[in-house]
């Protein structure tokens, strides 16, 4: 048997149906089978893991981008620059130069009010006052208190009054006219202070610059006639042209509260000697009305 017989047992040129199958088997046996690499499975698993990581990273990047975009859009109004205060808007929303207000004018220097002369009843402003019968004395009444010069020409009688309500004697006053500072009765929580000159140089020297203080004393009939239920009195020494003198201050109170009593004491404590150059009404003063 030759090679031709192996390939074709039926003879040359006379092929059978099994020739191709036998040739395929013969070639398969002649070629050695190649084995699979030992790490093939590891490589496949590694490729699957890398693919999974790429997909996960792509998903995280997409989510982060969407979140940042939403945050920027939400914060855009707050991050936008605020319009210039006082600026005027022009066409298409343009902003013109800001309108600057002129600088505030500096306040005028305050001027201390000149001492006023008590006369007709008027609302007090707390300014320093003096009485024409004794211009050597000054005092500072509380705000909204009233001052009145007495009608008597003798300062040793009573030369002035200070009160929490409008002052003015009634024509039908039953007592001495100089001792009627009110047209009616003293109001509740009211006070009226009377000032009288005491010619006592020895007492003035004894008092010196220290006042006696405004203390309680017995209620007299004149204070009771005004409706008062409490009376205070005190002494202040003052300098004048001639021998030193003493000013007696009497306070008549009606159901006075602690603030009213404190104001009466403050008025008493403010009594002092006027400077020598200001011991007359001067050109701006006005005569007190009796």
Candidate ranges 52-56, 78-82, 83-87, 153-157; pick with highest mean pLDDT: 52-56
pLDDT one-digit tens code per residue, 187-213: 999 999 999 988 888 888 888 766 678
pLDDT on residue 165:
94
pLDDT on residue 150:
82
Give CATH for domain 129-275. 2.60.120
**CB half-sphere exposure, 155, CA atoms < 13 A:** 17
pLDDT one-digit tens code per residue, 227-239: 999 999 999 988 8
Mapping DSSP to helix (H, G, I), strand (E, B) and coil, where does residue 266 land? Answer: helix
Does position 19 have pLDDT exceeding 80, yes or no?
no
Give the tokens for residue 275.
């400077």
Q: Which of 207, 193, 266, 277 is nearest to 238 (CA)?
A: 207
15-21 long-range contacts, Cβ below 8 Å, gap at least 24? none
Least confident stretch, 14-18, 219-223, 260-264, 266-270: 14-18
Residue 119 · residue 149 · CB < 8 Å: yes
pLDDT on residue 60:
72
pLDDT on residue 81:
55
> 32: pLDDT confidence band, cut at 50, 70 and 90?
low
Q: Where along the chain do its domains lie?
A: 129-275
Environment class of residue 192 by beta-carbon count within 10 Å: exposed (0-12), middle (13-18) or buried (19+)? buried
> 34: pLDDT confidence band, cut at 50, 70 and 90?
low
Rounded CA-CA distance 256/180 in Å is: 20
Sorted by sequence, the CB contacts under 8 Å of residue 113 that are 6+ apart come out as 125, 127, 128
Does position 173 have pLDDT exceeding 70, yes or no?
no
Rounded CA-CA distance 159/194 in Å is: 8
pLDDT one-digit tens code per residue, 90-108: 444 444 443 444 445 555 4
Does position 13 have pLDDT exceeding 70, yes or no?
no
């Amino acid at each position: 048997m030759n090679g031709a017989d192996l390939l074709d047992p039926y003879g040359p040129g006379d092929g059978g149906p099994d020739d191709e199958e036998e040739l395929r088997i013969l070639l398969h046996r002649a070629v050695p089978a190649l084995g699979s690499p030992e790490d093939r499975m590891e490589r496949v698993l590694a490729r699957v893991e890398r693919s999974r990581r790429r997909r996960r990273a792509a998903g995280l990047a997409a989510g982060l981008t969407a979140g940042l975009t939403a945050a920027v859009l939400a914060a855009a109004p707050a991050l936008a620059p605020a319009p210039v205060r006082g600026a005027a808007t022009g066409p298409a929303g343009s902003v013109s130069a800001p309108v600057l207000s002129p600088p505030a004018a500096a306040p005028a220097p305050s001027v201390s009010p000149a001492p006023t002369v008590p006369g007709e009843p008027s609302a007090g402003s707390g300014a320093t006052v003096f009485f024409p019968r004794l211009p050597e004395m000054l005092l500072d009444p509380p705000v909204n208190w009233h001052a009145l010069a007495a009608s008597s020409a003798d300062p040793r009688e009573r030369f002035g009054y200070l009160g929490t309500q409008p002052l003015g004697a009634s024509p039908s006053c039953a007592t001495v006219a100089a001792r009627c500072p009110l047209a009616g009765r003293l109001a509740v929580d009211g006070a009226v202070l009377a000032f009288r000159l005491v010619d006592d140089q020895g007492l003035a020297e004894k008092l010196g610059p220290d006042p006696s203080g405004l203390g309680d004393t017995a209620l007299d009939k004149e204070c009771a006639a005004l409706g008062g239920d409490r009376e205070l009195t005190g002494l202040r020494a003052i300098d004048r042209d001639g021998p030193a003198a003493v000013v007696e201050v009497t306070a008549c109170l009606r159901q006075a509260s602690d603030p009213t009593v404190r104001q009466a004491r403050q008025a008493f404590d403010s009594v002092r000697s006027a400077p020598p150059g200001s011991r007359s009404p001067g050109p701006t003063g006005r005569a007190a009305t009796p």
